[in-house]
Structure 1
Amino acid sequence: MEDPELLSRVATITTFWPGTNAERVESLITEKLEDKLQDIEEIKNLESVSQRGLSLITVELEDSVKEVDPIWSQVRDKLNDAQVNLPKEATEPEFEELKIKAYAMLIGLTWEADNEPNYAILRRRAKMLEDELRSISGTEEAELRGEPDEEILVEINPITLSSLGLTPQQVAQTIDESDAKVASGQLRNLENELLLEVDTELDSLERIKQIPLQSSISSQITRVGDIALVSKGIKQPPSDIAIINGHPAIAIALLVRSNQRIDQWSQQVYQTLDRFQENLPRGLGLNIVFDQTPYVEDRLNSLIINLLLGAGCVFAVTVLMMGWRSALIVGCAL
């Protein structure tokens, strides 16, 4: 690696409580988590931000800490202990250790066709490439970057909706209740206690279209697909976006293990990319945005040249000062 590996002593804790004002987030989430974390002596600093629907705590460890894994394990235990005292509507605190490590390679999968980019195709191909690169010996991690979030859009016909005596809010509530993640009952015996759940997961557009709606004017039953256009697309505005050489893209960032020779590892990566590119459909491109290998090789070559020059200078000075026999002995020692 060109850059030295640094020890990460910073982590973040993120908790969501949708629709709640900043004051309640501060008193019912942030303060309770901070009170638990104060018991850990190795924590140097706690910084928190509470805003509407979000609590974000940054944890920094003391500079004297050399082994961070046991401390982060204590932090996770404290979060688990504090979770029982958090509001039920809040999400589970998400702990994330900030990594201080440079990417060894950045690869871009680009949409080069003239039409609008199809991110479903890009994402599927990028996932396939990510899996192949992660399986290479020496790869520590492969991550997708610039991958926009998808959303399902239900565009309601207002005239049809009005004739049924329904409002958009009622339709949204019906759809939400159709995807409820609650138990429908229990099955108990002497050995087991199981929760029963009806298979109502909205895992396709067709299932959403088939959700029944009860008219408030008559006993008429209609379905979401009869009054609305249901489609899947990119959430607007996009949460993440990547542009490579002027083309919409999804990037794959690679981290290499510290004990791995990056030149040998990069050869395997390039072989994998060559095979993958042969099977790419027309309109998709593959680009190497960044590769750390040439920089590492330049550093190593410079180091070898400097060592040879240094040894040559020592040998020459020894010949002048002590004669060739002594210089030969010193040269052999070098």
Structure 2
Amino acid sequence: MKVIHAITNTRLLILITALLIVSGLAAFSSLPRAEDPIISNRFANVTTSFPGASAERVETLVTEVVENKLRELSEVKLLTSTSRPGVSIVTIELKDEITEPEPVWSKARDKLSDVAPFLPSGTAPPDLDSDHTYAFTVITALTWAGPGDVDVLTLGRYAKELAKRLRTLSGTEFVDEYAMPEEEIQVNLRTADTAAFGSSSIQIGDSLSGADAKNSAGQLVSHFSRFGLEIESELDSIERIKQVPLVVAKNGHIIRVEDIATVTRSQKTPESEVAIIDGEPGVIVAARMEPILRVDQWTARAKATIENFERDLPSNVNVTILFDQQGYTTTRLVDLGESLLIGFTLILIVLFITLGVRAAILVAIALPLTCMLTLSLMKMTASQSIRCQLQVDRCVGYYGRQCRGYGRYHPKLSTQGTG
């Protein structure tokens, strides 16, 4: 009787209906949205470079050592490896019952740190890459618009600034740069001046190495203590290297590097990564939002940050948004709304014909309220998000191949390693 009385109570029904509408709309506006679902990643790659070594040496001296260390992890299900000239790649697969892989990856990195001293001289530290579970939210590219050759070093400096601004943006989870150029300072000896100086390139190299602040310059010893001495500044600028003293002549004149060599800053070659945007070299900056946010709201803030950054750029540098998830999620949500509206209309037409006006009106009220109740329950149960599963083509740029059409653009697929 109480249930029947509650159903027939008009004021109570109006209150419940209003509560469902308000809670449903509030849940719809606050539930996170993204293109792809968040998947626990149980796969990772460990890459170790051993320049100049054959595939057989890489297998024996690097791959087997890394594999044996990683097998100490009880969470590992399978290890597979590929040894190529100069590089070792070990793929880790965790057991199916692992739902929180990050602590395992942390332990794996500790194991790799322990194994580094046992690798041969000249081997780069093993690099574990486990961050490839879902797509970036916004991907931008910096390209050269000035005359002459592309200044990739300048693009790299502005790319670092853009990445810094995106990292400080509220709601940003991860930012990465691709095809970032590496700088080096070259010391080119002038043959005639070097011969007059009477020293070899090896001796000059030793002098430069001794002037590096990372190396000890000596010790200060007293009766009670001993202090290490270091040079005040590092060899991190052209002017600093030019002023490195090489020898003191008999007349007291100090011969410095700038007296016998030309010091220039240039891009390190060969490049480890190359990104091609519309047939020209560029640098890619990709950002990903936190999974608990709405893609449309975060993307709006990210685009505002990019626009402010673009105002500070010189005329010879352009920044372009290659991909953003907002357009795809908006399209899918609009398609979903249209499909629901079409289904709702067909149901009403059938009910009008078969059951009459009263039954059709009741269903017309019940269906939207059911949707609102579902959204409210999703919000109450802390459901991760409304995910739009998008089936889009991948757009891959490979050196001279331009990206055609629209689709998911992943910088790892659009950069080519050369090292």
- TM bucket, shorter chain: 0.7 to 0.9
User: How many angstroms does 1:165 deviate by?
Assistant: 3.3
User: How many angstroms does 1:211 deviate by?
Assistant: 2.3
Rounded to whole Å, the distance in 2 between the matches of 1:316 and 1:289 is: 44
1:308 is aligned with what amino acid?
L
| Secondary structure at 2:78 match in 1 | strand
2:294 is aligned with what amino acid?
R
1:42 alignment partner in structure 2: 75
Does residue 330 of structure 1 match 2:363?
yes
Rounded to whole Å, the distance in 1 between the matches of 2:256 and 2:354 is: 99
1:203 alignment partner in structure 2: 236
**TM-score where L is the length of structure 2:** 0.68
Does residue 157 of structure 1 match 2:190?
yes
Give 1:74's match in structure 2, choosing from 107, 114, 127.
Answer: 107
User: How many angstroms does 1:293 deviate by?
Assistant: 1.4
Rounded to whole Å, the distance in 2 between the matches of 1:213 and 1:304 is: 75
User: How many angstroms does 1:291 deviate by?
Assistant: 2.2
The 5 Å alignment of 1:212-251 reads: 212-214=245-247, 222-245=255-278, 247-251=280-284
| Secondary structure at 1:155 match in 2 | strand
Change (3 A) 1:93 1:3: same
Give 1:317's match in structure 2, choosing from 345, 350, 375.
Answer: 350
2:296 alignment partner in structure 1: 263
Q: Which moved more, 1:50-59 or 1:70-79?
A: 50-59
Unaligned runs of 5+ in 1: none
TM-superposition CA deviations, 1:168-202 (whole Å, max 9, x none): 333334323432634445999x9x99865443521
2:40 is aligned with what amino acid?
L
Change (3 A) 1:274 1:32: closer
Give 1:101's match in structure 2, choosing from 134, 137, 151.
Answer: 134
TM-superposition CA deviations, 1:102-142 (whole Å, max 9, x none): 12222222221113333443333322222222222222222
Change (3 A) 1:18 1:247: closer
C-alpha RMSD over aligned residues: 3.4
| Secondary structure at 2:302 match in 1 | helix
| Secondary structure at 2:273 match in 1 | coil
1:131 alignment partner in structure 2: 164
Asked if 1 retains the 8 angstrom alpha-carbon contact of 2:43 and 2:92, the reply is yes
Give 1:117's match in structure 2, choosing from 120, 128, 150.
Answer: 150
Change (3 A) 1:174 1:30: farther
Asked if 2 retains the 8 angstrom alpha-carbon contact of 1:29 and 1:55, the reply is yes
User: How many angstroms does 1:276 deviate by?
Assistant: 2.5
Does residue 254 of structure 1 match 2:293?
no
Rounded to whole Å, the distance in 2 between the matches of 1:103 and 1:264 is: 15
1:147 alignment partner in structure 2: 180
Asked if 2 retains the 8 angstrom alpha-carbon contact of 1:117 and 1:248, the reply is yes
TM-superposition CA deviations, 1:274-323 (whole Å, max 9, x none): 32333332222232222221111110000011111112222222232322
Asked if 1 retains the 8 angstrom alpha-carbon contact of 2:213 and 2:230, the reply is no
2:330 alignment partner in structure 1: 297
| Secondary structure at 1:307 match in 2 | helix
| Secondary structure at 1:287 match in 2 | strand
Rounded to whole Å, the distance in 2 between the matches of 1:50 and 1:127 is: 33
| Secondary structure at 1:181 match in 2 | coil
Rounded to whole Å, the distance in 2 between the matches of 1:149 and 1:86 is: 25
Unaligned runs of 5+ in 2: 1-33, 368-419
User: How many angstroms does 1:35 deviate by?
Assistant: 2.0
1:213 is aligned with what amino acid?
L
Rounded to whole Å, the distance in 1 between the matches of 2:228 and 2:47 is: 30
Rounded to whole Å, the distance in 2 between the matches of 1:185 and 1:25 is: 40
Q: In the comparison of the two structures, how many residue pairs are matched?
A: 331
TM-superposition CA deviations, 1:224-252 (whole Å, max 9, x none): 21111100011234433434345543222
Rounded to whole Å, the distance in 1 between the matches of 2:68 and 2:353 is: 72
1:300 is aligned with what amino acid?
L
User: How many angstroms does 1:80 deviate by?
Assistant: 4.1
1:280 is aligned with what amino acid?
L
| Secondary structure at 2:272 match in 1 | coil
Rounded to whole Å, the distance in 2 between the matches of 1:211 and 1:266 is: 49
2:292 is aligned with what amino acid?
N
2:328 is aligned with what amino acid?
Y
Asked if 2 retains the 8 angstrom alpha-carbon contact of 1:315 and 1:331, the reply is yes
Q: Which moved more, 1:119-128 or 1:282-291?
A: 119-128
Change (3 A) 1:248 1:37: closer
